[in-house]
Chains A and B, each alone.
Chain A
Amino acid sequence: MAAEPLLKVENLSICLGSAGAARPLISNVTFAVKPKSVLGIIGESGAGKTLLSRALVNWVRPPLVITAGRVIYRDRDLLALPETDMARLRGREIAYIGANPTTALDPTVPVGHQIEEKLRTIEPGLSRQAARKRVVDLLDAVRIPSARSRFDEYPFQFSGGMMQRAMIVDALISNPKLLVADNITQPLDVTVAAQILRLLRDLQRDFGTSIVFVSSSFGTIVDIADEVVVLDKGSIVEAQDTGRIQRNPVHPYTKDLLAKVPRLWHGVGSIPEANAEPVVLSVRDVAKTYAVKDRTSLFRKNRVQAVRGVSFEVRRGESLGLIGESGCGKSTLSRLLSSLEPPDHGAIEVNGVDVATLRGAALLSMRRRFQLLLQDPYTSIPSHVSIGATIAEPLRIHRLASGRGLREQVCGVMQDVGLSPDLYDALPVGLSAGQRQRVNIARAMVLEPSVLILDETLSALDQVEQARLLDLFDNLQRKHGITYLYISHDLAMVRRACARIAVMYLGKIVEIGDNETIFGEPAHPYTRTLLSSVSTVEEKPFLPKDYLLEGEPPDPIHIPEGCSFRSRCPFVIETCRNVEPPLSPRAGGSAAACHLGLDRLPAPSIVLKAHNGSDLKRMDSL
C-alpha cells in the first residue's frame, strides 16, 4: 500500500459564519485515502463528521465557509476547481451517499428510472435499454429481490434498507474511484446494517473503489475500515490502522470513545432482574389488522396484519423490552397499549380492568396512569408554547391542579427530570434533543403515571445523552415504582435497561424471557440473528456467518404458511413449512416459538459467565 494516495486532505478548516463572528467547526484536518482501501472516520455527534464528508465532494454551502486547506484528488484541488469541473467529477469519479436514503430521491419518480437518468446523463451515448440493463444488473448485485420489477417501484415502496441499497447502486453505477459514505447504516435495523456493511465490503473488493466511511459507531467502523481517523470537535486526535486502534488506543478521547461503546456480553454491569410484584399490565392475544387499498384491482383492499396475537404480562416496577426490526408491529402495539386505537380482538388489562370496557371519566383516569413517549423530540412538543405551559397541559386537561399549585408541581417535575425550573417561561427553541426529550418526559411524569411506554424514546439521542436518560428512568422507577415498556430496536439499550425482553417478528412474539436468557441462551434463531448482527467491539457468542441471512421480513399482507420466520431461517426443517410453532415455555419463565430445540442450533462460540454487579469495572480485552 505504498501507492500515491487517491485523496489528500491538507489543513482543512471550516467555519460557521464569516469574519469576526466565525465559529470554527473543522480545524486543520489532514489525512489521506489510499487507493482501494477503506478509511473510517469516527466521532460523536457534533464532531463535524458530516461537514467533513461534504467538504470532500466540495458541497459546503453558506453560512458554512471553508477558510483554509486543500482537498487534493489526483493532483487537483477540488476546493479550487470551477463549479463546472467539479460537476464533472461529482457522481462520476466521486460518489457520495448520505445518512438518509429515504429523502435522497425524487419521491414521484420510480427509483430505477432515477438511477437510469443519472447513468444516461453521465454517459449520454448509452441507449435506454443498455442503461436499464446495467441498473437492473447492479440492483441484482446488491441483492435487491426481484430487481426487474423493483426498478419501476417508487421510493416510498422501498424500505430504508432497500433504499440504501438503491443509493449504493446509484453511487456505484458510474464506477467511481472514491465513495464517501456518510453514516449510511445509522437509520437502519441491525440486521439490515450488517447486510449493507457486508455488501459494501464485497463491492469494494470487486470494484476496487476507495471508500471514506463515516460513522459514529465504533463497532461499525471496526467492521469495515482498514484505517481509522478519530475526529473530536472538528480536529483529528488520532489516526491508526484498525487493528491497532482497537488494541492500543493512544489518545484519551479514543480510549473514552472505545470505553463508551455499549457492551452486550462482556462487562455489561448490573442487569435488571425480574421481580415478583403484582401484574400491572396484562396483554392477552391482541391483534390488529389494517385495510389498505389495493391499486391493482377493483374495490379490493389488502389486509395488513400488523399485530397477530400478542400476549405478555408486566409486573409493577418492572421493565419489559420489546425488540424487533422495523415493520414487526412494535409501534402498532404501542398504539394499542396506549389506547389510541382499539385492538381487533384480544384484551388489554390494566390492574385487572379491561381497557376496552372503559368509557368517559374512567377511561380518562386510566389514560392518566398510562403515558406514551415517542421518538422524535422535535415534533412532539409545540415550538410556540412555553416549556412550563407544555408540561402543565396534562394537569389542566385532567383538572389536577391550577394556579400556584400547578406551577409548583410543574417545577418539581422539571427538577425531577433534570430541567432547570428557570426554563419554565422559556420557549423550547434553543433546547438540545436531549433536553427536549426531558420536556416530554416531564410532561408524562407530571401525571404520576404507573406505566410508561417508551416507543424508541431514546433512539434519536447520542450515546452520552442516552445513558443519562436511562439513569433518570432508573431513578424515577425506584422513586415512584413505575413500570416501563421499552419499545426499541437498540439491543444494547434493552440489555442495560430491561429485566424481561420480548422479541417480535412479523406481528408476533417469537421469544420472551429474562434478560440473561435472551442474550445468553436464546432459543429462537431470529433472536440469535438479531444478536449476531449487532456491530460491537467485543467478541460475540453468535456469529453472522451462522445466522445472518439476506433479505427482509415478508410483507405483512402475504404472510407465509407455517413458521413466519422460515423464509429467512438457516435451520429450517420440513415441519416449519406447514406448522406454525406455538410459543412454548422453557425453564425460568421464558418461552420461544420454534420447532427446533437448543441442541439443533449452533452452540455459542464463546461461553459466557453469569454476570452480576461485581464485574462492573472490568474492562474488555479485545
Chain B
Amino acid sequence: MAFALEFFLRRISQGVLIVLAVAFVIFTLLRIAPGDPIRIILGPMATPSAMEETAERLGLRDPIPVQFLRYLGDIARGDFGNSFIRGKQGGTTGGSQDAAGAPPVERAAVIELIARALPYTLLLAACGFLLACLVSIPLGILAGVRNSGWPQKVALYLSSFFVSLPNVWVGIVLIYLLSARTGWLPAIGYQHIGYVVIPAIVVAVELAPVMIRSISVAVATNVQDPFYEIGQVRGLSARIMLFRHVLRNAAVPLLNSFGAQMIGMLLGGLFVVEYIFSFPGIGLLTINAVFQRDFPVIQTVAIFASTVLVFINIAVDFASTTIDRRLKF
C-alpha cells in the first residue's frame, strides 16, 4: 500500500512536469515557426491595421513567456481557449470574417471540439488495437513457443509483409478494393459503425508486425528460462507452465514495449489514417488545425496527447512492478 501511494505521488508529480515542458515547447515552437494565424483568420484581403488589431486582441503580440503563463492560468481555470477558426457548429470560418471579426465567444471552445472528436478516435483505436491483438497474440505465442516450424515462419513472413506496407497505400488500396470496387463497406467520413472497419484494418496492419515480433520474442525468451522445463519435470503440464507462468513473465517486456513504442505508433497511425478516411476524430481535427495555424487546438491536443502518454507509462510501470516484484521504479 505504502509503496503504491509513494509510487503514484512521485510519478504523477514527475508526469506533470513533463506535460508542462511539452506544453511550453509546443507553445513556443508554434509562435516562432513561420505562418501567421491572423492571415488565415481574416483572409488574404485584410488590411495590416486590421490584422494588427486582431493579433493584439488575441494576445499574440505579448512576449511568449507572458502568453504561456496566461495560457496556464486559463487552463488552471479549466478554460482551454477557443479555436481561432472553427465556429460553434464545427465549420471553418477562416477567411470569411471581416476586420472586426466575430467575437471569440462565437467560436467553438477547444475542449468541446476535442470532446466531440475523442469518441471517434477511441473507437477507431480500440477496433484497430483489438484487430491487431486478434492476429498477433495467437501467432506471437505460437511462434514464441515453437522456435522452429511453420508458426514461426508464418509470423516472420506476415510481419515482414505488414511492416513493409505504408499505411497510406494500404488505406487507398483497401478503399479501392472494399469500397469503390465492391461496395461492401463505406469508407469516407463517419455515419455508422461500418465506417470504422477499413480504417481499423489499416491501423491493425501497422501495429501487428511490432506486436507479433515483441510477443514472440518475449515468449521465446521465457520458454528458454530454466523454470519452464523444470516446471514440467516438477509435474506441471506444459500448458499450465505456458499460460500461468510464461505469459505472466512475458507480460513485463510486452507492457513496456506497449507503453514506450506502440502507443506512440498508434497515435501517429491514427492521425494519418483519420486524414486519409476523413474520419472525424482527434487526428483529423489536429491536422486541420495545423494547416490553419489554429494555435489553441494544437496546444490542447499536444497537452492531451502527452498526458495520455505519461499516464499510460505510469500505469505500465505500476503493472510491471506488480507482476514482477524484482522491478524497482
Contacts and interface: CB of A to CB of B under 8 A. Distances in A.
Interface of A: 57, 59, 87, 90-92, 95-96, 98, 100, 103-109, 117-118, 121-122, 154, 156, 170-171, 174, 293, 295-299
Contacts of A117: 236, 240, 244
Highest count of chain A CB atoms <10 Å: which of B230, B237, B245: B230
Interface in B221-259: 225-227, 229-237, 240, 244-245, 248-249, 252
Interface residues of B, number: 27
A106 B226 contact: no
A296 B235 contact: no
A574 B229 CA distance: 51
A289 to B, nearest CB: 18
Contacts of B245: 106, 108-109
B325 interface: yes
Nearest to B231: A106
B230 A98 contact: yes
Contacts of A98: 226, 230
Contact of A154 (B5, B233, B326): B326
Contacts of A106: 227, 231, 245, 248-249
B236 A298 contact: no
B324 interface: yes
B116 to A, nearest CB: 42
A109 B244 CA distance: 10
B291 interface: no
Given A98-B230, A103-B230, A108-B323, 7 more contacts: A90-B233, A95-B234, A98-B226, A104-B230, A118-B234, A118-B236, A170-B234
Nearest to A293: B328
A296 B324 CA distance: 16
Contact of B234 (A90, A103, A156): A90
Highest count of chain B CB atoms <10 Å: which of A103, A107, A174: A107
A297 B4 CA distance: 10
B270 to A, nearest CB: 33
Nearest to A296: B2
B244 A90 contact: no
Contacts of B234: 90-91, 95-96, 104, 118, 170-171
Nearest to A297: B2
Nearest to B323: A108
Contacts, number: 79
Contact of A90 (B2, B226, B235): B235
A106 B328 CA distance: 18
B184 interface: no
A156 B235 contact: no
A233 B266 CA distance: 58
B55 to A, nearest CB: 49
Contacts of A87: 232, 235, 237
Interface string B3-16: 10110000000000
A582 B152 CA distance: 65
B6 A298 contact: yes
A121 B102 CA distance: 74
B235 A107 contact: no
25 contacts: A57-B233, A59-B229, A59-B233, A90-B234, A91-B233, A103-B226, A103-B230, A104-B226, A106-B231, A107-B249, A107-B326, A108-B249, A108-B324, A109-B245, A109-B248, A117-B236, A117-B240, A121-B235, A121-B237, A121-B240, A154-B325, A154-B326, A156-B325, A170-B234, A171-B234
Interface of B: 2-3, 5-6, 225-227, 229-237, 240, 244-245, 248-249, 252, 323-326, 328
Given A59-B233, A91-B235, A295 B2 contact: yes
Nearest to B6: A298
B255 to A, nearest CB: 13
Main SS at interface, chain B: helix
A73 B226 CA distance: 26
Highest count of chain B CB atoms <10 Å: which of A59, A108, A121: A108
Contacts of A296: 2-3
B324 A92 contact: no
Contacts of B233: 57, 59, 90-91, 96
A167 to B, nearest CB: 9
Contacts of B227: 103-107
A221 to B, nearest CB: 23
B2 A108 contact: no
Contacts of A90: 232-235
B218 to A, nearest CB: 13
A318 to B, nearest CB: 41
A135 to B, nearest CB: 14
Contacts of B249: 106-108
A171 B230 CA distance: 12
A108 B5 CA distance: 21
Highest count of chain A CB atoms <10 Å: which of B225, B231, B244: B231
Given A91-B235, A122-B235, A174-B235, A295 B248 contact: no
Nearest to B325: A154
A156 B252 CA distance: 17
Contacts of A156: 325-326
Given A105-B227, A108-B249, A299 B326 contact: no
Highest count of chain B CB atoms <10 Å: which of A91, A106, A295, A297: A106
Nearest to B321: A295
A178 B245 CA distance: 27
Nearest to A54: B233
A121 B238 CA distance: 12
Nearest to B222: A106
Contact of A100 (B226, B235, B244, B324): B226
B47 to A, nearest CB: 62
A174 B2 CA distance: 38
A158 B257 CA distance: 30
B100 to A, nearest CB: 58
A92 B6 CA distance: 44
Nearest to B241: A106
Contacts of A57: 233
A90 B233 CA distance: 6
